[in-house]
């Protein structure tokens, strides 16, 4: 059987499972996928279909069916590696990418820093990040002339000191890059790995890398 026909069959199977879950929400009298009868509990008002469980409305019936899966406890999709169950097929794909492949992000980030593994979607973000390595504080507060290496540090400074924005009680800010943290522990970890001498170590081969981000990249070599 061709790959195209296999993909089509898989897509049909996914649609059957998800539609079955949505229709099985009717307790002891569930609808079957192969029944031609429409959802009798779906209320149509003008151009909208409303969920009988929470009242949320949708313009298309398929969107309502997709929404109703959120009300179900059934999880018909299983991870082929660890057998963890999920309600939707795309959740399995995301789980596999993050947990088993170590790939946290799928967004294309063409602008890569030459000094660390960080990458960005826009050039201006990369240029802003590189100030962390050079120590140059190019972002200056127009009110009090305080300077910061990154824009987020300047924005946080203005909110707290000049706009009266209240941070959590334990909130603290890094004096080197301006990054803010909600706890002293988060601040300490940041200082240790971003500005200190401590480097993360691979528990498989013992290699020491420059940052936690690069450790994730390195771990992909072992999978």
DSSP 164-214: -PPPPTT-EE-TTT--EESSHHHHHHHIIIIISS---B-TTT--B-S-HHH
- Judged by DSSP in three states, 148 sits in strand
Which two structure tokens, joined as six digits, stand for 177?
């890059």
In degrees rounded to 5, what are phi and psi of residue 201? -125, 135
User: How much of the chain, in percent, has pLDDT values that exceed 70?
Assistant: 65
Confidence of residue 6 (pLDDT cuts 50, 70, 90): low
Q: Which residue has the higher pLDDT, 72 or 105?
A: 72
pLDDT greater than 50 at residue 155:
yes
**pLDDT number for residue 106:** 55
Q: Which helix (H) or strand (E) holds 147?
A: strand 147-148
Give the per-residue pLDDT at 27: 42
| Partner residues linked to 43 by β-bridges | 50
Q: What confidence tens digit (pLDDT) does each residue in 30-84 have?
A: 333 333 334 444 444 456 778 777 777 777 877 777 777 777 778 888 888 888 8
At 34 the pLDDT is 32
- Output 207 or 118, whichever has higher pLDDT: 118
The span from the CA of 163 to the CA of 80, in Å, is 51
Of 117 and 7, which is predicted with more confidence? 117
Helices 3-23 and 61-68 meet at what angle, rounded to 10? 70
Residue 139 has pLDDT above 60, yes or no: yes
Kindly report, residue by residue over 174-223, the tens digit of the pLDDT: 776 777 777 777 777 777 666 665 567 777 787 776 666 667 767 777 76
Both tokens of 27, joined, read: 């307790």
**Domains of the chain with bracketed CATH:** 3-75 (no CATH), 111-222 (3.30.160.60)
The string over 102-114, giving b where at least 16 C-beta atoms fall within 10 Å of a residue's C-beta and e elsewhere, is beeeeeeeeeeee
Position 19 scores a pLDDT of: 60
SS3 sequence of 3-59: HHHHHHHHHHHHHHHHHHHHHHHHCCCCCCCCCCCCCCCCEEECCEEECCCCCCEEC
d(CA 131, CA 157): 17
CA dihedral (213, 217, 219, 223) in degrees, to 10, reads 150
Q: Tell me, what's the pLDDT at 201?
A: 73
Q: How confident is the model at residue 167 (pLDDT cuts 50, 70, 90)?
A: low
- At residue 110, does pLDDT exceed 80? yes
Higher per-residue confidence, 5 vs 141: 141
């Amino acid at each position: 059987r061709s790959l195209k026909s296999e993909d089509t069959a898989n897509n049909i199977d996914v649609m059957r499972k998800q539609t079955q879950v949505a229709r099985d929400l009717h307790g002891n009298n569930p609808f079957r996928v192969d029944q031609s009868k429409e959802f009798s509990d779906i209320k149509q008002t003008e151009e909208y279909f409303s969920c009988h469980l929470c009242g949320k409305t949708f313009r298309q019936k398929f969107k309502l069916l997709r929404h109703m899966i959120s009300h179900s406890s059934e999880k018909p999709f299983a991870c082929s590696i660890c057998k963890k169950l999920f309600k939707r097929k795309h959740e399995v794909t995301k789980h596999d990418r993050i947990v088993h492949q170590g790939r946290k992000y799928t967004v294309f980030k063409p602008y890569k820093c030459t000094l660390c593994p960080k990458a960005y979607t826009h050039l201006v973000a990369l240029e802003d990040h590189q100030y962390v390595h050079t120590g140059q504080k190019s972002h200056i507060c127009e009110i009090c002339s305080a300077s910061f290496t990154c824009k987020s540090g300047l924005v946080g400074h203005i909110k707290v000191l000049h706009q009266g924005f209240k941070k959590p009680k334990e909130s603290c800010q890094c004096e080197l890059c301006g990054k803010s943290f909600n706890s002293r522990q988060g601040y300490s970890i940041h200082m240790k790995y971003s500005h200190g001498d401590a480097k993360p170590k691979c528990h498989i081969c013992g290699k020491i890398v420059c940052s936690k981000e690069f450790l994730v990249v390195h771990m992909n070599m072992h999978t």
